[in-house]
Every structure is written in C-alpha cells, then in structure tokens.
C-alpha cells in the first residue's frame, strides 16, 4: 500500500507502559504495521512509564521508515519519562515534535 492509497486522516497509535527492551520487538511490529496503514500516524506517548535505548530505537526506526515511504509520523502526548530521555539526549529536533514541558513545583 502506498502513502497515497493510505487514509489521509491521522491514525492514533497509543503506547502504554514500558517502552523498553522487553517490549521493543512486539512494539516495533505493531508500530510499523500501523504506519503502513496511515499517511499520518500519531504516536501517543502519554502512557509511557519508562523509555530505554531499545524503545528509542523503535521510535527512530519508525521515523526513518515514515520518511522513506513519504508518510508522516508525529509523536504526541510525551510522558515525563519520554521528556526526560528526549531532553537528556537532545532529540526534540530529530523527531521534529514540540515537547510540552511542565514546570515542576
């Protein structure tokens, strides 16, 4: 299926719980399958409780596949765990998504 034949409406893919090495293989398959079905895929990260390098690699791969296929991948609803890793590794620019940073009291 080409990007032009995929639905033009955003499709949402929510990830809840750990985005770590223990789930990376399964999430990779699910995420890439969802990406193939949408011209625009929004990945909701609001439920992510932990993110490690394996999980990060899955997100980076999905971004690369989307670009190669002429599709769009947006990361939305960044959880505090995701924001921490993205800030530590300065990845906001790589993904091109706005991060909403909440001030801590």
CA atoms in the 13 A half-sphere facing the CB of 62: 31
pLDDT at residue 94 in the model: 85
Per-residue model confidence as pLDDT tens digits over 56-104: 999 999 999 999 999 999 999 999 999 999 999 988 888 886 665 543 4
Q: Which domains does the chain have, with CATH numbers?
A: 11-94 (3.30.750.24)
pLDDT at residue 5 in the model: 46
pLDDT at residue 19 in the model: 97
Question: 13-17, 28-32, 83-87 — which is least confidently predicted?
Answer: 83-87
Q: What CA–CA distance (Å, rounded) separates 19 from 46?
A: 12
Mean pLDDT of 30-51: 95
The pLDDT-based confidence of 105 (bands split at 50, 70, 90) is very low
pLDDT at residue 103 in the model: 37
Helices (H) and strands (E) in the chain, counts: 4, 3
Which element (helix H / strand E) includes 68? helix 53-69
Q: Which residues contact 88 (CB under 8 A, 6 or more apart)?
A: none
pLDDT at residue 98 in the model: 61
């Amino acid at each position: 299926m080409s990007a032009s034949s995929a639905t033009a409406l955003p499709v949402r893919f929510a990830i809840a719980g750990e985005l770590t090495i223990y789930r990376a293989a399964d999430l990779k398959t699910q995420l890439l399958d969802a990406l193939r079905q949408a011209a625009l895929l929004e990945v909701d990260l609001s439920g992510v409780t932990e993110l490690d390098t394996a999980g990060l690699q899955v997100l980076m791969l999905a971004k690369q596949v989307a670009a190669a296929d002429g599709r769009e991948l947006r990361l939305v609803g960044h959880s505090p765990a995701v924001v921490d890793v993205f800030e530590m590794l300065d990845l906001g620019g790589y993904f091109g998504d706005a991060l909403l940073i909440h001030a801590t009291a």
